[in-house]
Every structure is written in structure tokens, then in C-alpha cells.
Amino acid sequence: MFKTIEIPQHHLSIRQPIGLFISNEFVKSSDGNQIDTFNPATKEKLTSFYAGSETDVNVAVRAARTSYTKTWSKTSPEQRTDLLLKLASLVERDKEILASIETQDSGKPYYTNALLDIDMIIKLTKYFAGSTDKFTTGETIPIDHETLAYTLKVPFGVVAQIVPWNYPLAMASWKLQSCLAAGNTVVIKPSENSSLSLLYFAQLIVEAGFPPGVVNIIPGYGTVVGDALSTHPDVDKISFTGSTKVGCNVLEQSGKSNLKDVTLECGGKSPAVIFKDANLEEAVKWTSEGIFFNSGQNCTANSRILVQHDIFDEFVHKFKDYTKRKWNFGSKFDPFDKDCTVGPVISQKQYEKIQEYMTCPEGCPVEVSHIIDYPPDDINGYFIPPTIYTNVPQDSKWCKEEIFGPAVVISEFRDYDEALSLANDTSYGLAAAVFTENIRIAHEFARDILAGTVWVNTSNAEDVTLPFGGFKMSGIGRELGRTGVESFMQTKTVQINIRKPNS
């Protein structure tokens, strides 16, 4: 159940698991089907791994249920803390290996992206290790002199999790570590585009000492493994991160099966609003990084920048200049190159989807500016240069649809009311940013914008201690922070009659 993957840039030879991970063992899928995975920077095949079936999902859910009933539900907060701290230390030990796998499998620039993801995972795991006895307590509620009432926070039991390809191990860790801290067992599905890092991570789960069945990892296709988890009658909760379309399917499948609890973190078309009194250099820096980091493959990316009319031309000029200096493919078009800050997008499918936005039909007023050149023809890989759209109609696909690539729309507004109207003119509501030196406008915007996260004079500045989630079609529920644990627990009310008999 292992294959060797070479990472010549770091002289690494990695023993990569390729099997399904059930009850602390790597096993073949029931039907033997496999998925090929490719390096998006070269289009070269890395390896193949086993793809789960509905039968495999059933086996994994049974393993999770057995482990929860017999073992995991009886663990103390202290025991869960110790296991998570051990896991954090193992991630830190294998940091370079995990980051290298992420770079090979998803195209993330190693030094400016993949390593940062692993640092965040270490911090996150330690944070949730400390939460097991802090965010899991109930309360006593006074009713009257002869009644004792209190609440308990209890785990759901078996939780299914589905994670996307843009942050393979980071998004898995958002869900997994908080869910384990709350006392649940897990069946998790990574994306078929980027499963390798989570499969390697499974070895660290075993080494840390987690009992068999607590964590089960079933790679595979969404229409097979994802649907089987969403409809499974013995899954108590499902947590999904991905597209809004698939998130709607997950919610529907929950309702048609056993009404399992659902957390959804879906798409975004996040605005960044730049008022004329803003520090322009800071606004340029943060919004450029807010859209082009991770090749624009961020659900919170500020893909719509709204600039007040008075400073529009100056902002666009400075934005293009900063972007050209900051973002590049590196001289070798290799995400392991220290000079590489923009990697390839994940796949041929995603590349073609983004390319459809690059060409405007005849008569279309949209202006398209590629800040750096496309790679030469002899370079393989799904590289797309940072791209700016201006003169964009508000009702066009560039303003309405989530491109999920290194592409940004820059538009102008006249006053606060128009800025707010344009910012809220979307079916999404995941995040928003505002740049102003006026404290009244900053607070007013934070109050009025329909988004789950609002950044003031910064963008995409996330922290594991802060709750994260969206409004409208961007999702349901919250992850990270205290809510990251609480979302994986249910509240039970206990009412006790302490009145003396016959009194």
C-alpha cells in the first residue's frame, strides 16, 4: 500500500501511502479502482492511489462507529489533549516532507505557501489540543428552588468531512483536529486532485497513538464517496468545504437521508473597498496578496476590488506595478524555486475554466491585462499569469461568478452608498475588506456588509482562534476558534426534580 515518490529538489525519497486508511491500516479499495495524480507544474504523473467505493465508505463508517462506542467516547479531555499535542510535534518533525508533498501534488510554491500552511497546521493542532476541556463544558441554569437544571455538550458521534483541493492538508486540519478535540470519530474524504498529503498524515495519526477507527480517510470521487457520506444513515454530522453547487447537494442529501447536522463552507466573490482616504500603498499590497496568493485559488480571495473614483487611476497604476514586482513564476517555472511566488492552478479542468474568462467576445467592453507573460510553449504546467479586468459591467460573469484563479476585477464607485450596494451585489457572503483611515466609515462598513468575515485595512488575514464562515450562498455554520469545537458538539438539557417526596 505504498509507493516511492522522489522529490529531487530536496533530495527526498518519500514512502507514500496509496491505500484507503481504515482502522489505522492502509487497504485496497473493494473494487480495486485507482486514481492517477499529477504534478500540475509539469503535468507528469506522480503516482496512483486507491479510490473508495460505497462499500468502502460503509466499512469506514462502521469502524468509526465501533471506535466511538467502545473507545473514543470514553476518553478524557486530558487524553485527547495529549494525543493532539503529540500529533503537533510529529507534524513539526515532518514539516518539510508534508510541504514537499503539497508542492508536488497541488503546485503550491514551497517557500512562500506550502511551508506557511504547515506552520498554520502546527499552531492549529496545538490550539485545539488546549480546547478539549475549555470549549466542551455546559452550564447550570436556575429554574426554582426544587429543580436542578444543567446542560451538557456532547459529541455527535461519527462525523463525515469533505475537503477541497486548494488547501489539502490545511482544510482537513481545520475540520479534523477540532472534531477530535470535541470527542467525535471521523471519516474524511480528500479531493481526488490532492489526496497524497492527507494519506501521509495518516501515518502520523497512528504514530501519535490515536486508537484504530478514530480517523478514517477515504479518497475517491465526489459522486461516489462524497454522495455515500452525505446520504449515509449512520453518519451523525457532515462538514463540507468546496463549491456552492456541491454544498447545496450535500445539504439536500442530508435532508433526504437522516437529517444529519451540516456545516458548509462554500464559494465566495469577496469585495475589497478602497476609499479615497486609504493608505494607498497598504491597500495595494494587501489586495494584491489577497487575490494572487495560492494562484487565486482561495474562497476568500478579494476577487472584486472597488475603488473610489477620485483615486481609481492611481490605484490601478500602483496595483499593476506592485503585482508585477511581487508575483512571478520564477526563472525555472518550478514551485520549489525560492523565486517562485505564483504556482500553477490545480488541473487541466481548472486551467480551461479560467481560460474561458480570459477571452472577451467581440464588442465586449471588458479590458484584460496580464501582468506577466504566459510561460513559453516549451514549459509544461498549468501556469496562468495574474490578470486584471477593468471596465467590467456589474451584471457580467466576471463580477458575478467565482473564477477561482489569479484574476481580479477592479471597478470604481462614487460614494459610500454605491460602494456598499456594489459590495453586497452578490449571492455570496464569505468575506470582505475595507480600506479607510476614517474609523466611522470602517465600523459602518463592518456593520452593513453581508459577510462572515470583515477585514479593515488588511485582507485574508486569518487566525486559528477566530471563527470562520459565510453568509448567504457562502455557507452554513462556523469553523476555527471556539466555534470550531462547538460546531462538532450537541447540547443536551438535563432537568432534575429535587423536591422531597410527598412535600
DSSP letter string over 166-197? SSHHHHHHHHHHHHHHHT-EEEEE--TTS-HH
Residue 358 pLDDT? 87
In CATH, what number is assigned to the domain containing residue 156? 3.40.605.10
47 within domain boundaries: no
Same domain, 484 and 455: no
Same domain, 378 and 461: yes
Domain count, the chain: 2
Which domain does 167 fall in, by range? 53-266+476-491
Each residue's pLDDT tens digit, 276-304: 999 999 999 999 999 999 999 999 999 99
Letter string b/e over residues 281-308, b meaning 16 or more CB atoms within 10 A of that residue's CB:
eebbbbbbbbbbbbbbbbbbbbbbbbbb
Same domain, 299 and 360: yes
9 within domain boundaries: no
In CATH, what number is assigned to the domain containing residue 316? 3.40.309.10
CA distance 269 to 430: 8
88 within domain boundaries: yes
Distances in Å between the Cα of 58 and the Cα atoms of 229, 233, 249, 323 are 9, 10, 20, 48
Q: What is the DSSP string of 86-141?
A: HHHHHHHHTHHHHHHHHHHHH---IIIIIHHHHHHHHHHHHHHHTTTTTSS---B-
Q: Is residue 396 within 8 Å of 368, Cβ to Cβ? A: no
Each residue's pLDDT tens digit, 69-94: 999 999 999 999 999 999 999 999 99
The torsion angle over the Cα atoms of residues 37, 199, 249 and 345, rounded to 10 degrees, is -40
Same domain, 118 and 193: yes
Residues in CB range of 95: below 8 A, 6 or more apart = 115, 118, 119, 122
Same domain, 222 and 294: no
Residue 112 pLDDT? 95
CA distance 483 to 131: 11
12 within domain boundaries: no
141 within domain boundaries: yes
Residue 503 pLDDT? 64
DSSP 3-state of 2: strand
Same domain, 241 and 283: no
Same domain, 236 and 290: no
Same domain, 368 and 481: no
Could you give the maximum distance between any two Cα atoms of the chain, in Å? 91
Of 102, 192, 265, 479, the catalytic one is 265
DSSP state, residue 294: G
Same domain, 306 and 229: no
Residues of the chain scoring pLDDT < 70: 503
DSSP state, residue 300: T
Record the cell numbers describing residue 288, joined without a space: 494584491
Same domain, 57 and 205: yes
Same domain, 208 and 289: no
CA distance 387 to 86: 43
Question: Which residue in the block uniquely carries the three cell numbers 446520504?
Answer: 231
CA distance 409 to 387: 9
| 265 in catalytic set | yes
DSSP 3-state of 381: coil
Same domain, 419 and 292: yes
Closest C-alpha among 214, 206, 147 to residue 179: 214
DSSP 3-state of 79: helix
Residue 405 pLDDT? 96
461 within domain boundaries: yes
Beta bridge partners of 155: 489
447 within domain boundaries: yes
Residue 377 pLDDT? 87
226 within domain boundaries: yes
